[in-house]
Structure 1
Amino acid sequence: MVFKRRDRRSPLQVLWELIWPRGGWTRAFHYVKHRVRRLPDRPERIARGIGAGVFASFTPFYGIHFVIAAILARLINGNILAGLSGTFFGNPLTYVPIGVVSLQTGHFLLGTEFHEGAKQGLMRKFARAAGDLKDNFLALFTDRDADWQALGLFFDEVFFPYMIGGIAPGIVAGVVCYYLSLPVISTYQKRRRAKIKAKFEAIKKKAQADLPNPGNPG
C-alpha cells in the first residue's frame, strides 16, 4: 500500500504518542493551528467549530470528545473538522486543571463538598470507573456478579458534578477561543488570497510577455 507506515508501531508506542506526540506538544499545537487556518470555510464557521471543540474538552466524556465536538459544531453551524481540532485544548497537560475547575464548580452548584485530594487521583478514578464498567459488562456473559456500587459512588462524587460544573467554564473557554481565533483566521485567509492573487497575476504577466508581438514579426 502506498500510504502504509514503514515503521510499525507497537500498541505501547501508539498509547504513548497519544500522551506525548512525536516532536512534543508544541509541534503538535503548531501542526493543528496550521491545519485549522487552511480549512476551506468561512472564518466564522471555523471559529465556531473551534469553540465547540474547546467546550467538548470540558465534558467528562473522555474517549468521545471528538463525537461531542462534531455534534456541537453541527448544532451551531460550525466547521466539524475545526471542532475536532478544537478538542486539542483538552490534552494530558490540561486534563487535570480542567477537571479540578469543573469539579469545584459542579460541587459548588450542587451544594456538595469537593475533596482536595481528588485532584491527585482524578484520572485514576476515571480509569478505575472504566475498568469497573468493563468488568460489569463482561459479567453479563459470565457467572460473575456485577457490582454497581463503586460506579454509583463515582457518578455521584465525580462524574455528575464534573458534567454540571464543566458547562459554565466550557462555555467561557469556548467563547474566548472563538473571539481569539476569528481575527487570526480572517487575517490568514486574506493574506493567503492576496498571495494567490499576486502569484496568478505574475503568471499572467509572464504569459503575456512571452506571446509574440503582432506588430513585430521578428
Structure 2
Amino acid sequence: MVFKRRDRRPVLKAVREFLWPRGGWKRAAQYVQHRLHRLPDPPHRIARGIFAGVFTTFTPFYGLHFVIAALIAWVMRGNILAALLSTFFGNPLTYVPIGVAAMTTGHWLLGIQGRPPRLEGHHTGLAEKFVKAGLDLWNNLLATFTGAEVDWTDLSIFYDQVFFPYMIGGILPGILCGTIAYYISLPLITAYKNRRKGVIKAKLSALKKKKEAEGKSRAKGKAD
C-alpha cells in the first residue's frame, strides 16, 4: 500500500505519540496553522471549514469526527480540508474541558438533576458506564450466535446519562467556539494571503525587470 508505514510502530509508542506528538503540541499546532494559511481557497471558505471542524469536536461521535466535519463543511460551502485539519482542536489536552462543557450544558438543558458524571478526578462513574455499555454491545452481538439472553440495560443507561446529554449539550459550546474560531481566523488568513500575494507580485515584478534588463543588455551587445 502507498501510505503504509515501512516500519510498524510499537503500540505503546503510537499511544505515546498520540498523547504527546514528536516535537510537542506547540509544534503540531504551528504545523496545522501553516497548512490552514496555505490552503488554495478564499479566506471565508477556509474560515467556514474551521468552524465546522471546531464545532465537530464538541460532538460525542468519536471516530467519525472527520466524516462529520467534512459533511458540515460541504453543507456550509466551506473548505473540507480546513474542516479536517481543525478537528485537531479536539485532542488529549482539550477532551476533558470539552466533555465537561458539553455534559454540564446537556444536563442543564435537559433538566437532569444532579451533577453530570465527572470527567476528571474521580473517573469511576463515567469509566464504568463506558465499559458496561461496551460489554453490553459485545455480549448482545455474541448472543445472536449463541442464543443467550439479550440485555440492553447498561447501554441504555449510558445513552440516557452520557451520550444523549453530551450530544445535546455540545451544540451550544460547539457553536460558540466555532464562531470564535471563525472570526479570529478570517482576518488572519485574509492578511496572510494578501501579504503572500504582495510578496509573489514583488518577486514577479523583480523577475520581469531582470529579464527586461538582460534583453536590453543582449540587444546592446548585438548592436556593438
**TM-score greater than 0.5 by the shorter chain:** yes
8 Å Cα contact 1:96/1:119 also seen in 2: yes
Q: Aligned residue for 1:162?
A: 166
1:137-164 deviations in Å (ceiling 9; x for gaps): 3443445544321111011111101111
Name the Cα RMSD after superposition.
Answer: 2.3
Deviation at residue 126 of structure 1 after TM alignment: 7.2
8 Å Cα contact 1:96/1:123 also seen in 2: no
Deviation at residue 116 of structure 1 after TM alignment: 5.7
How many residues end up aligned between the 2 structures? 218
Unaligned runs of 5+ in 2: none
8 Å Cα contact 1:36/1:82 also seen in 2: yes
8 Å Cα contact 2:47/2:182 also seen in 1: yes
Alpha-carbon distance between aligned partners in 2 of 1:82 and 1:125, rounded to the nearest angstrom: 36
Alpha-carbon distance between aligned partners in 2 of 1:153 and 1:3, rounded to the nearest angstrom: 40
1:56-67 alignment, distance < 5 Å: 56-67=56-67
8 Å Cα contact 2:41/2:79 also seen in 1: yes
1:1-218 alignment, distance < 5 Å: 5=5, 7-115=7-115, 118-120=118-120, 121=123, 124=127, 127-128=130-131, 129-130=133-134, 132-211=136-215, 212-214=218-220, 217-218=223-224
Pair 124,27 (structure 1): closer, same or farther in 2 beyond 3 Å = farther
Deviation at residue 13 of structure 1 after TM alignment: 2.4
Alpha-carbon distance between aligned partners in 1 of 2:49 and 2:190, rounded to the nearest angstrom: 14
Alpha-carbon distance between aligned partners in 2 of 1:195 and 1:125, rounded to the nearest angstrom: 57
8 Å Cα contact 1:50/1:82 also seen in 2: yes
Unaligned runs of 5+ in 1: none
8 Å Cα contact 1:106/1:165 also seen in 2: yes
Alpha-carbon distance between aligned partners in 1 of 2:18 and 2:197, rounded to the nearest angstrom: 35
Give the share of equivalent positions with the same residue, in percent: 56
Alpha-carbon distance between aligned partners in 2 of 1:64 and 1:3, rounded to the nearest angstrom: 20
8 Å Cα contact 2:107/2:116 also seen in 1: no
Alpha-carbon distance between aligned partners in 1 of 2:28 and 2:126, rounded to the nearest angstrom: 22
Give the letter for the 2:179 counterpart. V
Alpha-carbon distance between aligned partners in 2 of 1:49 and 1:97, rounded to the nearest angstrom: 22
Alpha-carbon distance between aligned partners in 2 of 1:101 and 1:43, rounded to the nearest angstrom: 29
Alpha-carbon distance between aligned partners in 2 of 1:54 and 1:124, rounded to the nearest angstrom: 25
Pair 144,208 (structure 1): closer, same or farther in 2 beyond 3 Å = farther
Pair 153,4 (structure 1): closer, same or farther in 2 beyond 3 Å = closer
